[in-house]
């Protein structure tokens, strides 16, 4: 399965997620701290790199993909492992952070 | 979280990009002067912590990095240089962007730590600190292999500290003739980069194969009964270099009796080899400055608190990277970089009252076996049982598709660029 295929599947879950209060109260400072972990691999990613760019990703897509990794609906063991310990609050914080953060 | 930070946060939740790129919290006045952090060692541990402290405190902390070298050649990816996949320049970096991030970089050797006065001694100079980060990497125990010494390393390179040693190893490797023998003496645990020796063996084999060698042999004398990613490495060796690599555990060699740099002879309990290239990777310990300051215990490594990377013997000192006893975390650049972020977060919270978060660490180590055949191991780590404890991780499996292995290689190249930018700017 590819990252694109999973999008439809997780859409409903993501929609429900957006309705929740968690996202509205996204903890940007938490996001900023958690994002330091991502920089090691994603920090210099570009449109053509194998490790994809995640700066400026829409929150919806971001949440969807990370949740898909978390339930192992997407196969890459690195991102499965990274996503495994992220709570919904963490994911919301990261999504909000990366949507606006610049490299 | 305090009420104060909650209120600030409400305001910031909808804030713009501009707000995000400046520090989220102004430092509370801490006496008159800015708090001072001194970092010893500008590798993955020290470079990362210095840059993050300067960047995230927005200048509220005075950060000084003491690094003896003007440029830093990474050990990580040095095996790819050995294999001819990278040139030396591409694994060598400078501190220009670290300086630009607001870090004062002092290119000198820190000679001592005066823990009572909270000062680092650099020759005749004394640099005061409120918090000190010690990240000096490793020193080699040359005498752990009988017959080996610092002088012998100019004939039998260890190449376990980056730089001229790695260049010497490559020179000797490229001069080998078909039928020659390479002997590697692998290190005992714990050591820098657990899969490193075996990736290096793979790169030796790749170079010999490419040169068309049919009779050359690589003998690995290992003091350990097993090694990192062993099953996948050995499968790869059989596939790409059948019959070339012979790995011996202690049962097979009976013990390492010694090396003779003059003759190139390597003796074990059961055999004797004449090595045209002998790569001795001795036992290791924390860098001298850490040991001299009594930050290390009897094992030669430094105990830390898993929640913060703070030294167990001095609350004003943090020890990062290879020099630390980081529980289940391997000694890798990835680990050092991960630990640095936890330390930076804790130090900022102590010195500027910024918010503290629970420590989280992670690591992934890729190893190249042959062109486009790359394997990985990794996982998450958190404080637990009084140490940094591993959660169940992942490791490459035997029989994986060529696509997966090729993707691994491409990931590793992107990671290299990412981590180097994270350390050196
Ligand atoms: C062959 C090989 C392959 C590797 N491959 C990988 C890999 O693929 N992935 C990975 O994650 N890791 C890899 N590693 C491991 C990685 O290189 C180390 O774990 C990492 O460099 C540790 O970082 P550090 O900051 O603790 O120490 P170091 O990188 O050793 O940095 C310490 C710095 O401190 C300086 N210093 C020491 N004492 C003083 C002093 N008194 N005053 C001033 N400066 C001082 C030194 O000059 C040095 O620059 C590999 C290692 C080897 C040998």
Res. B26: pLDDT tops 50: no
How far apart are alpha carbons B375 and B409 in whole angstroms? 8
Mean pLDDT for the stretch of residues B274-288 = 98
pLDDT value of residue A103: 79
- DSSP characters over B157-196: ----SSSHHHHHHHHHHHT--TT-EEEEEPPPSS-B-TTH
pLDDT value of residue A26: 87
| For chain A, percent of residues with pLDDT exceeding 70 | 76
Closest CA to B266 of B203, B220, B227, B225: B220
pLDDT (tens digit per residue) in B77-88? 999 999 999 999
How far apart are alpha carbons B205 and B388 in whole angstroms? 36
pLDDT (tens digit per residue) in B154-185? 999 999 998 999 999 999 999 999 999 999 99
pLDDT value of residue B19: 39
Subunit contact A40:B391, Cβ cutoff 8 A? no
Distance from the first to the final alpha carbon of chain A: 29
Mean pLDDT for the stretch of residues B112-138 = 98
Four-way CATH pick for B3-137+287-424: 3.30.565.10, 3.40.50.740, 3.50.50.60, 3.30.70.20: 3.50.50.60
Say if CB B129 and CB B119 are below 8 A apart.
Answer: yes
Res. B11: pLDDT tops 70: no
Within 10 angstroms of residue B386's Cβ, the number of other Cβ atoms is 9
Peptide bond into B190 cis (omega under 30): yes
| For chain B, percent of residues with pLDDT exceeding 90 | 92
pLDDT (tens digit per residue) in B78-119? 999 999 999 999 999 999 999 999 999 999 999 999 999 999
Residues 28-67 (A) with a CB less than 8 A from some CB of B: 28-30, 32-34, 36-37, 39-45, 49-51
- What value, to the nearest 5°, has the Cα angle with vertex B421 and ends B417 and B424? 130
Ligand 1 atom nearest to CA at B332: 19
Ligand 1 atom nearest to CA at B331: 19
Mean pLDDT for the stretch of residues B260-270 = 98
Query: Could you tell me which residues come within 8 angstroms of residue A10 by beta carbon, excluding any fewer than 6 positions away?
Result: A64, A65, A67, A68, A73
CB contact, 8 Å: B263 with chain A?
Answer: no
Q: Which of A26, A36, A84 sits opposite B341 (nearest CB)?
A: A36
Query: Could you tell me which residues come within 8 angstroms of residue B70 by beta carbon, excluding any fewer than 6 positions away?
Result: B94, B95, B107
CATH of domain A28-100: 1.10.760.10
Res. B307: pLDDT tops 50: yes
| For chain B, percent of residues with pLDDT exceeding 70 | 92
Mean pLDDT of chain B: 93
- Shortest-distance Cα residue to atom 38 of ligand 1: B136
Q: Do the domains B3-137+287-424 and B142-282 sit in the same CATH topology, yes or no?
A: yes
Domains of chain B, residue spans: 3-137+287-424, 142-282
Q: Which of B407, B419, B422 sits opposite A50 (nearest CB)?
A: B407
Closest CA to B341 of A57, A81, A40, A94: A40
pLDDT (tens digit per residue) in B34-91? 999 999 999 999 999 999 999 999 999 999 999 999 999 999 999 999 999 999 999 9
Q: Say how far residue A55 (Cα) sits from the centre of its chain.
A: 10
Task: For A81, name the nearest residue in chain B, comparing CA atoms only.
Answer: B379
How far apart are alpha carbons B143 and B141 in whole angstroms? 5
pLDDT value of residue B231: 97
Largest CA distance in chain A: 35
Mean pLDDT for the stretch of residues B245-274 = 98
> Can you give the pTM of this predicted structure?
0.93
Domain B142-282 has CATH 3.30.470.10: no
Domains of chain A, residue spans: 28-100
pLDDT (tens digit per residue) in B194-241? 999 999 999 999 999 999 999 999 999 999 999 999 999 999 999 999
Chain B CB contacts of A40 below 8 Å? 334, 337-338, 415, 418-419, 422
Interface test with B, best of A77, A86, A99 (most B CBs within 10 A): A77
E strands in chain A: none
Subunit contact A39:B362, Cβ cutoff 8 A? no
Q: Which of A26, A28, A82 sits opposite B362 (nearest CB)?
A: A82
Within 10 angstroms of residue B9's Cβ, the number of other Cβ atoms is 20
pLDDT (tens digit per residue) in B337-364? 999 999 999 999 999 999 999 999 999 9
């Amino acid at each position: 399965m590819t990252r694109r295929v999973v999008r439809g599947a997780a859409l409903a879950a993501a929609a429900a997620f957006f309705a929740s209060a968690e996202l509205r109260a996204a903890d940007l400072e938490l996001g900023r701290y958690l994002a330091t972990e991502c920089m090691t691999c994603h920090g210099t990613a570009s449109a053509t790199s194998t490790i994809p760019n995640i700066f400026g990703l829409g929150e919806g897509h971001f949440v969807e993909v990370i949740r898909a990794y978390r339930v192992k609906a997407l196969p890459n063991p690195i991102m499965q492992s990274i996503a495994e310990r992220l709570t919904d609050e963490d994911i919301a914080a990261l999504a909000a952070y990366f949507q606006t953060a610049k490299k | 979280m305090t009420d104060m930070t909650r209120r600030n946060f409400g305001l910031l939740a909808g804030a713009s990009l501009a707000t995000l790129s400046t520090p989220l919290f102004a430092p509370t006045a801490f006496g008159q002067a800015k708090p001072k952090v001194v970092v010893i060692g500008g590798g993955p541990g020290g470079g990362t912590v210095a840059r993050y402290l300067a960047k995230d405190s927005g200048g509220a902390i005075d950060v000084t990095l003491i690094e003896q070298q003007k440029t830093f050649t990474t050990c990580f990816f040095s095996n790819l240089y050995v294999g001819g996949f990278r040139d030396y320049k591409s694994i060598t970096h400078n501190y220009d962007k670290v300086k630009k991030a607001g870090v004062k970089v002092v290119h000198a050797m820190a000679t001592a730590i005066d823990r009572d006065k909270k000062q680092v001694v650099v020759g005749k100079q004394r640099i005061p600190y409120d918090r000190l980060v010690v990240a000096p990497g490793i020193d080699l125990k040359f005498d752990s292999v009988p017959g080996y010494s610092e002088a012998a390393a100019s004939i039998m390179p260890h190449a376990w500290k980056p730089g001229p040693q790695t260049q010497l190893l490559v020179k000797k490797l490229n001069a080998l003739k078909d039928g020659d023998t390479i002997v590697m003496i692998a290190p005992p645990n714990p050591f820098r980069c657990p899969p490193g020796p075996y990736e290096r063996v793979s790169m030796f084999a790749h170079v010999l194969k490419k040169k068309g060698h049919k009779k050359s042999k690589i003998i690995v004398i290992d003091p350990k009964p097993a090694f990192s990613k062993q099953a996948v490495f050995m499968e790869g060796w059989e596939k790409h270099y059948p019959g070339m690599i012979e790995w011996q555990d202690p049962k097979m060699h009976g013990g390492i009796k010694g090396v003779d740099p003059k003759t190139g002879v390597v003796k074990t309990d059961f055999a004797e080899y004449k090595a045209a290239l002998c790569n001795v990777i001795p036992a290791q310990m924390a860098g001298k400055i850490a040991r001299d300051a009594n930050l290390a215990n009897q094992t030669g490594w430094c105990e830390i608190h898993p929640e913060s990377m703070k030294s167990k013997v001095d609350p004003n000192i943090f020890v990062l990277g290879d020099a630390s006893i980081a529980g289940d975390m391997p000694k890798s650049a990835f680990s050092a970089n991960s630990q640095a972020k936890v330390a930076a977060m804790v130090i900022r919270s102590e010195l500027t009252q910024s918010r503290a978060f629970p420590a989280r660490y992670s690591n992934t180590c890729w190893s190249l076996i042959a062109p486009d055949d790359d394997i990985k191991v990794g996982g998450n780590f958190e404080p637990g049982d009084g140490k940094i404890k591993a959660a169940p991780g992942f490791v490459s499996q035997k029989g994986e598709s060529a696509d997966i292995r090729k993707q691994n290689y491409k990931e590793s190249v992107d990671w290299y660029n990412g981590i180097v930018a994270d350390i050196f700017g």
